[in-house]
Chain A
Amino acid sequence: MANQSYVVAIDQGTTSTRCILFDHAGRLASVAQREHRQIFPRPGWVEHDAAEIWRNVERVVPQAINQARADSSQIAAIGIANQRETSVLWERRTGRPVANAITWQDTRTASLVDQLSAEGGTDRFRDRCGLPLMTYFSGPRIRWMLARDPVLREQAERGEVLFGTMETWLIWNLTGGPEGGLHVTDVTNASRTMLMDIHTLTWDDDLLDAFQVPRAMLPEIRSNVEVFAPTTTVLPGVPIAAALGDQQAALFGQTCFSPGEAKCTYGTGAFLLLNTGPDPVRSSHGLLSTVGYKVGGDDPVYALEGSIAVTGSLVQWLRDRLGLISSAPEIETLALEVEDNGGCYIVPAFSGLFAPRWHSEARGLIIGLTSYITKGHLARAILEATAWQTREVVDAMNADSGLALTGLKVDGGMTSDNLLMQTIADVLNVPVERPMVSETVSLGAAYAAGLAVGFWPELKGLRRHWHRAARWLPEMDPGRREREYANWQRAVERTYDWLQHDDDGPGT
């Protein structure tokens, strides 16, 4: 143990896969990253190549190790955090994915979800799994994939085709793949499938029936903090000792270990999670009940979640699809060319609206266009969209908990955007704080893995590593805040009812 200096975190995210080494003080020692392709076969469809993602893991882990001038004997454990709900099926015998992974942003299951909702309401499974029926979650996706191919269904029933979210896929590959790979998931990722009973933390037969998912294809559900198995490749012999969904990992990384503590992570989307303690809280304001984390054999800790589908990806859209900026951070430079939004609002309902409104038929809009509007105003409107979406989720969180949020802990790549952080403080009217490590998804995975192997002795001690790196205080005039919020809400309402049934292609 003496010479074990680092824990490795693998953050398999929506746009890239990262490997970060952390030292005993929870400081980042090295980082390697690789983007993977975003595949958009049709409007509303978003896919990833799971084999490409696995190859990226094989590359970034050695890169990060080399960068820290370390070797595998110095690595105490590996922790994995991953984009949630993204689903892949693969052949047990060959390890080959049967198709591209269908990502969490993908809305192809809209008709299926509508049909299931028509039979018993959007909330028909909420008591059991904590979630409303939405295209966001994995269950409908598995049903969609198996419904298209009777042979695939038979193979799934025989356990020859396996299901996994990305942590399952990576752990299986890291532990041998076709040669005895471990087929497991964790309680946080499983809590996003709509297939797990959120109280018992086991696969639920009624839910499996509803989504026509054969049990034989499902991984075993484990806690977040335990030694899963030693890896057989990439870092042979080093134990995989944690797996968490990325947002839960960030909750863990921000050391939100007490009920009432919350964080918001700004990446592709933004996700506000509030620790609600040992019992799941049912939201009456459009939030999700989800597992926060479970340490080994301890009782689980639950969370309320406000999920915002599109934040960073809106900036990427401006960069990649419109070409108005050449790198994401330049949006701040562009936005600072103007004083305000010029009356322009952008509602990025690319995958419908997530929390707290949940309108899967909504689609994005730009409104308030006049000939006065420049690309600077569009940049402002894009940053403001992230801030106002956060405001809506915070309002819902306040309404559900009966308490007013007094400050927001933020993390993620977008926290480097100073103007955005200031705007969030302005529209929430509370201070916004960034911790010393903004890569809290990775840090949370590292903490969890380090706890499992004794690299860190106990949960509470991790709080000592948390330090404030930056703080933004609200400066906006209250009258202006209210006017702008009202404008935003009017804009959002105009996105409703856009998609008609059976819309599945351009111009239809």
Chain B
Amino acid sequence: MPGTVQSIERAAAVLRLLARSPRPLGVVEIANALSLPKGTAHGIIRTLHGVGFIAQDNRTGRYRLGKDLLRLHDPPIDHNELRARALNWTDTLASRTGEAVRIGVLTAPLEITIVHHVFRPDDSVQVMDVGRVLPAHACALGKAVLAYHPDSSTVLRDASLEAFTARTVTTGRSLLGQLSTVRERGWASDVEELNGGEASIAVPIRDQGGAVVASVAVTGSPKTVCDGGRNPRPRLAARVAETSRAITGELAIRRE
């Protein structure tokens, strides 16, 4: 039986103290109130400040509860804001890879809604996919989100899943196996599992707190997305991962 973690108890005490205080408090005041060495208090305060749970008053240097703590209960990021923040980075991804880019969010247990779509940069006629709903089990966007979703094992354990091509995964059990691979390597893929002639690589997008809120994917012909053996190219996956990190960075820039 593992014991309790002292620093977390102390952090909780700092938060309680600040929540009760009618005014912002300085490091020494916090240390004294909780009988902590000043250095310890300072470390805890810096960490809490780093995760956005407490904020520092610019003028006085004192601390109060942070907006992110008050937002713990908020709904996940607004889809339209996600698109706005991702825009520059998804453009760059499409431009670098020559493939179409999409961002999807889970809007039902097994449904992905496309919230952003950048055309393949070849100036051919393409149709905006924003608002389209995809079966999560049959696409890389879906698998990248399901792999980190707390309900996935319950939802998928005995599920039988609709087939869209001969390659679609149709049992929850085999999908769960794939999702564990997704977690190991950090990216998901589908090769002609939703549409013939189409392959995708997707990476989850995390918010500043580390939770997966969406996924971003490149989609193209299996000839360009995969190598000769029809395996998705890890180099391409690395590019998508880079984009996902840039978007996370954009989400982390605090709202004023």
Residues of A at under 8 Å CB distance from B? 25, 27-29, 31, 35, 326-333, 413, 415-418, 436-439, 467-472
Is B80 interfacial (CB-CB < 8 Å)? yes
Contact A436 B80 (CB under 8 A): no
- Known: A27-B96, A28-B91, A439-B88. Contact between A468 and B119, CB under 8 A? yes
- Known: A326-B255, A438-B88. Contact between A467 and B95, CB under 8 A? yes
CA distance A66 to B27 in the complex (A): 31
- Known: A330-B78, A416-B84. Contact between A25 and B95, CB under 8 A? yes
Within 8 A of A (CB), among B211-256: 255-256
7 contacts between A and B (CB under 8 A): A27-B92, A327-B81, A417-B80, A417-B84, A467-B121, A469-B118, A471-B128
A469: contacting residue among B84, B121, B255, CB under 8 A: B121
Question: Which B residues are in CB contact (< 8 Å) with A439?
Answer: 88
Within 8 A of A (CB), among B42-81: 78-81
Is B194 interfacial (CB-CB < 8 Å)? no
Is B155 interfacial (CB-CB < 8 Å)? no
Please report the total number of B residues contacting A with Cβ < 8 Å.
Answer: 25
B191 to chain A, nearest CB (A): 25
CA distance A413 to B126 in the complex (A): 22
Taking A27-B96, A327-B84 as given, write out 13 further A-B residue pairs in contact, using a Cβ cutoff of 8 Å, ordered by the A residue number.
A28-B88, A29-B92, A35-B256, A333-B79, A416-B80, A416-B83, A417-B80, A417-B84, A438-B88, A468-B119, A469-B91, A469-B94, A471-B119
Question: Which A residues are in CB contact (< 8 Å) with B121?
Answer: 436, 467-469
Which 8 A-B pairs rank lowest in CB-CB distance, beginning with the nearest?
Answer: A467-B121, A329-B84, A332-B80, A416-B84, A329-B81, A329-B80, A416-B87, A27-B95
B228 to chain A, nearest CB (A): 27
Question: Which B residues are in CB contact (< 8 Å) with A29?
Answer: 92
- Known: A327-B255, A439-B88. Contact between A418 and B83, CB under 8 A? yes
Question: Which B residues are in CB contact (< 8 Å) with A467?
Answer: 95, 119, 121-123
Contact B80 A333 (CB under 8 A): yes
B88: contacting residue among A31, A329, A331, CB under 8 A: A31
CA distance A470 to B95 in the complex (A): 13
Question: Which A residues are in CB contact (< 8 Å) with B256?
Answer: 35
Question: Which A residues are in CB contact (< 8 Å) with B94?
Answer: 436, 469
CA distance A328 to B80 in the complex (A): 9
B156 to chain A, nearest CB (A): 30
The CB with the most chain B CB atoms within 10 A, among A27, A329, A417, is that of A329
CA distance A439 to B85 in the complex (A): 13
B91: contacting residue among A327, A331, A438, CB under 8 A: A438
Question: Which B residues are in CB contact (< 8 Å) with A329?
Answer: 78, 80-81, 83-85
CA distance A326 to B84 in the complex (A): 14
Q: B77's closest neighbor in chain A, by CB?
A: A327
Question: Which A residues are in CB contact (< 8 Å) with B81?
Answer: 327, 329-330
B83 to chain A, nearest CB (A): 5
Is B130 interfacial (CB-CB < 8 Å)? yes
B105 to chain A, nearest CB (A): 13
Q: A437's closest neighbor in chain B, by CB?
A: B91
Residues of B at under 8 Å CB distance from A? 78-81, 83-85, 87-88, 91-92, 94-96, 117-119, 121-123, 126, 128, 130, 255-256
Question: Which B residues are in CB contact (< 8 Å) with A332?
Answer: 80
A470: contacting residue among B79, B92, B118, B122, CB under 8 A: B118
Question: Which B residues are in CB contact (< 8 Å) with A326?
Answer: 255
A66 to chain B, nearest CB (A): 12
Question: Which B residues are in CB contact (< 8 Å) with A436?
Answer: 91, 94-95, 118, 121
B245 to chain A, nearest CB (A): 12
Question: Which B residues are in CB contact (< 8 Å) with A331?
Answer: 80
CA distance A469 to B96 in the complex (A): 13
Question: Which B residues are in CB contact (< 8 Å) with A469?
Answer: 91, 94, 118-119, 121
CA distance A327 to B74 in the complex (A): 14
CA distance A467 to B255 in the complex (A): 31
B115 to chain A, nearest CB (A): 9
CA distance A330 to B84 in the complex (A): 10
Question: Which A residues are in CB contact (< 8 Å) with B91?
Answer: 28, 436-438, 469
Question: Which B residues are in CB contact (< 8 Å) with A28?
Answer: 88, 91-92
CA distance A436 to B89 in the complex (A): 10
CA distance A361 to B30 in the complex (A): 56
Contact A468 B123 (CB under 8 A): yes
Question: Which A residues are in CB contact (< 8 Å) with B128?
Answer: 418, 470-472
Question: Which A residues are in CB contact (< 8 Å) with B84?
Answer: 327-329, 413, 416-417
Question: Which A residues are in CB contact (< 8 Å) with B119?
Answer: 467-471
Q: B87's closest neighbor in chain A, by CB?
A: A416
B84 to chain A, nearest CB (A): 4
Question: Which A residues are in CB contact (< 8 Å) with B78?
Answer: 327, 329-330, 333
A330 to chain B, nearest CB (A): 5
- Known: A327-B81, A329-B80, A418-B80. Contact between A471 and B126, CB under 8 A? yes
Contact B95 A418 (CB under 8 A): no
Question: Which A residues are in CB contact (< 8 Å) with B79?
Answer: 333
A361 to chain B, nearest CB (A): 34
CA distance A199 to B151 in the complex (A): 69
CA distance A329 to B79 in the complex (A): 9
CA distance A437 to B117 in the complex (A): 14
CA distance A424 to B87 in the complex (A): 19
Q: A336's closest neighbor in chain B, by CB?
A: B80
CA distance A437 to B92 in the complex (A): 8
Q: A328's closest neighbor in chain B, by CB?
A: B84
The CB with the most chain B CB atoms within 10 A, among A330, A416, A417, is that of A416
CA distance A443 to B88 in the complex (A): 12
A316 to chain B, nearest CB (A): 12
CA distance A330 to B92 in the complex (A): 24
Q: B79's closest neighbor in chain A, by CB?
A: A333
Question: Which B residues are in CB contact (< 8 Å) with A470?
Answer: 117-119, 128
B100 to chain A, nearest CB (A): 10
A418: contacting residue among B85, B123, B130, CB under 8 A: B130
CA distance A327 to B256 in the complex (A): 10
Question: Which B residues are in CB contact (< 8 Å) with A25?
Answer: 95
Question: Which A residues are in CB contact (< 8 Å) with B83?
Answer: 329, 416, 418
CA distance A438 to B255 in the complex (A): 22
Contact A438 B80 (CB under 8 A): no
Q: A438's closest neighbor in chain B, by CB?
A: B87
A63 to chain B, nearest CB (A): 11
The CB with the most chain A CB atoms within 10 A, among B95, B121, B256, is that of B95
Question: Which A residues are in CB contact (< 8 Å) with B92?
Answer: 27-29
CA distance A35 to B254 in the complex (A): 12
A231 to chain B, nearest CB (A): 25
CA distance A310 to B85 in the complex (A): 22
CA distance A233 to B255 in the complex (A): 30
Question: Which A residues are in CB contact (< 8 Å) with B130?
Answer: 418
CA distance A417 to B82 in the complex (A): 11
